[in-house]
């Protein structure tokens, strides 16, 4: 069963568990499973189909339940917690960091939150409540309230002695936080500086004041940028008056970076961030139905445009073969621009001063590609269909639609941002609606106008 440890990924581990259960080695499975890191167990649960999923959760020992729950996607966590009462929840989470506890509680029904808080001792409850007071997408919402603080006027030697009396320090303690008597944040004392300085120096002489305290209401994504740009491992969080509230640690920042990136990928396909591989069929179907329904309405818009040109199509049914190429090319070109712009906005690289430059660049790129592929499709129509008229119509429509794609790709996400609509979620649908409608309209309008000249 020790095989379980040596597998490279969740899927192989699941296979090993399956085999072991079949051979009746349930006790060994339990031991091997609980020897894994909680994040690895969570990964396995997400990779397990229903049935196996419930069995594995049964095998997780209670002391690991909290850590595993924290690592799961929200959907899966919900479905497991639904089966637990407040007492079981309290037992599962009692050893978590306060920020993880708060994060976990935030996703529960209010009633359960209150019952669980009531079951905690006073210190724990106050600390969790401090985090719960902030939005979960801010520095305050992801901070840990357990900090190791020191005063500026003591010597390093005193700090050494103080630390030696501690059994352990909170995880990711790479510095001690220097505060005034009134808990005002003053600076940090990195452990490496503590270790490489002379012990008779004072904390105030060695501490670093380069790192300002992070305001508790700073959006989590800005905190992540700060950590990335300044290579931080932990950083203090302060309130409006500069009082120390807690600290943000790199593990939470890594989660935010991963989530932010996944959000784009999933949203652009109209999926929920938390959608998991084996979500129940009904809830998956319902979520996706909304997206498909939206797409159906936009596709019907395009159908309406086409139906306005019934006469043109009847006169030249061969138009129906090639006309779909134009919205398709517009959709691809527009999605490229859109993706670039959404990323630029997310990274804060794009705003009023440089949007125009980007717009003209994208327009130029579209013009070049429009002419190139417009010419290509002209030759295709001419050569294979012996129809120069359709070639001219489709070729010009290509240029028009790629230009429309550039305009929408640049400005749709910018406008959506202003209207507080998430461009990663809605950008693609609206963009392809534009390129579909413009594409079909261009082909059929040009055909009505130009084809009589080629008779």
Which residues from 274-293 bind a copy of itself, rule CB under 8 A? 275, 277-278, 281, 284-285, 288-289, 291-293
- Note whether 357 binds a copy of itself by CB under 8 A: yes
Sign of CA dihedral 38, 40, 41, 47: positive
- Distances in Å between the alpha carbon of 391 and those of 231, 272, 377, 384, 387? 56, 42, 7, 10, 6
- Smallest separation (angstroms) from a copy of itself to the CB of 373: 6
- Note whether 118 binds a copy of itself by CB under 8 A: no
Q: Which of residues 293-322 bind a copy of itself (CB under 8 A)?
A: 293, 295-296, 299-300, 302-304, 306-307, 310, 313-314, 317-318, 320-322
Rounded CA separation 334/405 (Å): 4
Residue 412 CB-half CA count within 13 A: 28
Among 55, 158, 211, 365, binds a copy of itself (CB under 8 A): 365
- Note whether 388 binds a copy of itself by CB under 8 A: no
Q: Which is nearer to a copy of itself, 86 or 257 (CB)?
A: 257
Rounded CA separation 429/20 (Å): 47
Whether the CB-CB separation of 365 and 406 falls below 8 Å is answered with yes
In order, the DSSP letters of 185-231 are: EEEEEEHHHHHHS-TTSBHHHH-B--SPPEETTSBHHHHHHHHHHHT
- Smallest separation (angstroms) from a copy of itself to the CB of 111: 32
- Note whether 333 binds a copy of itself by CB under 8 A: yes
Q: Which is nearer to a copy of itself, 167 or 181 (CB)?
A: 167
Among candidate residues 164, 74, 126, 95, the one with its CA nearest the CA of residue 246: 126
Q: Which is nearer to a copy of itself, 118 or 262 (CB)?
A: 262
Q: Which of residues 182-201 bind a copy of itself (CB under 8 A)?
A: 191-192, 194-199
Q: Which is nearer to a copy of itself, 145 or 337 (CB)?
A: 337
Alpha-carbon Rg for the chain, nearest whole angstrom, is 30
Among 68, 268, 399, 404, binds a copy of itself (CB under 8 A): 268
Q: List, in order, residues 6 or more apart from 452 with CB less than 8 Å away.
A: none
- Smallest separation (angstroms) from a copy of itself to the CB of 286: 9
Among 62, 168, 240, 386, binds a copy of itself (CB under 8 A): 168
Among 35, 86, 154, 163, binds a copy of itself (CB under 8 A): 163
Residue in the block written with tokens 């890594």: 254
Q: Which is nearer to a copy of itself, 114 or 209 (CB)?
A: 209
Q: Which is nearer to a copy of itself, 133 or 300 (CB)?
A: 300
Q: By CB under 8 A, how many residues form the interface with a copy of itself? A: 122
DSSP structural state of residue 49 = P
SS3 236: strand
Q: Which of residues 241-260 bind a copy of itself (CB under 8 A)?
A: 250-251, 253-254, 257-258, 260
- Distances in Å between the alpha carbon of 45 and those of 36, 38, 41, 80, 273? 12, 10, 6, 11, 17
């Amino acid at each position: 069963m020790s095989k379980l440890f040596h597998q490279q990924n969740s899927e192989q581990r699941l296979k090993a568990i399956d085999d072991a259960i079949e051979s009746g080695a349930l006790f060994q499975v339990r031991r091997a499973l609980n020897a894994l890191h909680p994040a690895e167990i969570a990964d396995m649960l997400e990779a397990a189909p229903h049935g196996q999923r419930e069995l594995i959760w049964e095998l997780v020992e209670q002391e690991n339940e909290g850590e595993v729950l924290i690592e799961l996607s929200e959907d899966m966590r919900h479905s497991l917690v639904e089966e637990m009462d407040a007492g079981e929840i309290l037992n599962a989470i009692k050893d978590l960091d306060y920020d993880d506890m708060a994060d976990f509680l935030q996703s529960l029904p209010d009633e359960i939150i209150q019952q669980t808080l009531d079951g905690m001792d006073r210190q724990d409850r106050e600390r969790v409540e401090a985090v719960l007071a902030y939005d979960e997408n801010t520095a305050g919402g992801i901070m840990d309230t357990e900090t190791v603080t020191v005063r500026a006027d003591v010597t390093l030697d005193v700090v050494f002695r103080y630390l030696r009396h501690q059994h352990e320090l909170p995880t990711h303690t790479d510095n001690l936080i220097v505060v005034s008597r009134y808990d005002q944040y003053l600076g940090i004392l990195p452990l490496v500086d503590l270790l490489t300085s002379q012990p008779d120096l004072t904390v105030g002489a060695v501490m670093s004041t380069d790192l300002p305290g992070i305001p508790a209401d700073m959006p989590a994504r800005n905190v992540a940028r700060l950590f990335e740009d300044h290579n931080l491992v932990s950083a203090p969080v302060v309130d409006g008056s500069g009082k120390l509230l807690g600290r943000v640690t790199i593990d939470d920042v890594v989660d935010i970076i991963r989530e932010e990136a996944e959000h784009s990928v999933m949203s652009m396909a109209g999926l929920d961030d938390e959608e998991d591989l084996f979500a129940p069929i009904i809830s998956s179907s319902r979520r996706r139905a909304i997206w498909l329904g939206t797409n159906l309405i936009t596709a019907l818009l395009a159908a309406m445009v086409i139906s306005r040109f019934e006469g043109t199509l009847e006169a030249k049914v061969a138009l129906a073969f090639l006309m779909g190429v134009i919205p398709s090319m517009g959709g691809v070109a527009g999605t490229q621009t859109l993706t670039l712009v959404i990323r630029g906005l997310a990274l804060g690289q794009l705003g009023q001063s440089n949007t125009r430059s980007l717009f003209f660049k994208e327009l130029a790129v579209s013009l070049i590609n429009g002419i190139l592929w417009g010419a290509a499709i002209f030759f295709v129509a001419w050569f294979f269909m012996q129809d120069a008229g359709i070639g001219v119509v489709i070729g010009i429509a290509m240029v028009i639609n790629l230009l429309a794609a550039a305009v929408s790709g640049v400005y749709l996400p910018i406008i959506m941002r202003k209207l507080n609509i998430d461009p990663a979620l809605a950008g693609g649908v609206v963009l392809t609606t534009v390129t579909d409608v413009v594409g079909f309209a261009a082909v059929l309008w040009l055909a009505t106008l130009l084809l009589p000249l080629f008779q």
